[in-house]
Amino acid sequence: RGGFQERHPNFNPKEAKMRINICLDADVVHHFRKRAESPHSASYQTQINNELRTIMERDLVEKKAEIDETAKKLLDDDEFLTALAEKLKKKELQTA
């Protein structure tokens, strides 16, 4: 088995759909089904997926901001930078 990527080099996991069984509140499903009845609107499943994607992407941006803030604090911390430099020097000597 294996070799999926070789057989499907253009496969984009972000575009792949996964079938799941999920329980949603009836009023939520009703709301999205009503929205889907409008002309030129996406299916209710697509609309729910789009809303979930919006939440996911917002969470990822917030997480990146947290990481960036942590990195900024570390780069401003002379004690951390000294310890990092010492550790890197030790590693360099070990690999030389």
What pLDDT digit, counting tens, does each position of 77-91 carry?
A: 999 999 999 999 999
Tokens 């984009």 sit on residue: 12
Question: What pTM, to 2 d.p., does this model score?
Answer: 0.61
For residue 21, the one-letter residue type is N
Q: Where are the alpha helices (DSSP H) in 1-96?
A: 4-7, 26-36, 44-75, 78-95
Domain ranges of the chain: 22-95
DSSP conformational letter for 43: P
How would you write the pLDDT of the chain (96 residues) with one tens digit per residue?
Answer: 678 888 988 988 888 888 999 999 999 999 999 999 999 999 999 999 999 999 999 999 999 999 999 999 999 999 999 999 999 999 999 987
> Of 71, 44, 83, 48, which is closest to residue 91 (Cα–Cα)?
83
Q: How far apart are CA 39 and CA 33, in angstroms?
A: 12
